[in-house]
Amino acid sequence: MLRYPVFLAVLSLLMTPALAQNASERQPLPVVPPPPPEMAPFDAALEPEVTIRKREGETVEEHRIKGKLYMIKVTPEHGVPYVLIDRQGDGVFTTMDTPGNPALSVPMWVIGTF
């Protein structure tokens, strides 16, 4: 029963400085300046498009910007997900090194040519 009055006493001591302020001492907040005029408007084409497909026990996420595929994330049903990135923009995908995951060796041999 003693806790409640002690709590109120401590609370009133903590609130004293806030209640002691006069209205004349308060400073108005500064006006927020408008955004700079050189800011580019929002371009929806720069937002990545993500296509998610499920096939044969794995999930494949294809990330595109302006229709160009730049990243593929493969999440196997049983295993560790891995990410392939087109670093140069030439269509050759390499693995993304992530901390804690060893580098993934993806087979890159030609199966057939036309």
> pLDDT tens digits for 22-54?
666 777 888 988 877 776 677 777 788 999 999
Query: What is the number of domains present in the chain?
Result: 1
93 within some domain: yes
67 within some domain: yes
Separation between Cα atoms, residue 25 and residue 19, nearest integer Å: 12
Q: Which residue in this structure is represented by tokens 């580098």? A: 103
Query: 59: how many CB neighbours lie within 10 A of its CB?
Result: 14
Rounded mean pLDDT for each run of 10 residues along the chain, 114 residues in total: 77 72 74 79 78 91 90 87 85 71 61 73
pLDDT of residue 101: 55
Separation between Cα atoms, residue 55 and residue 74, nearest integer Å: 11
82 within some domain: yes
70 within some domain: yes
25 within some domain: no
6 within some domain: no
42 within some domain: no
> Could you tell me the pTM of the whole model?
0.49
Mean of per-residue pLDDT scores for the chain: 78
- Asked whether the beta carbons of 104 and 93 are under 8 A apart, the reply is no
Per the structure, the complete domain to which residue 79 belongs is given by 62-101
26 within some domain: no
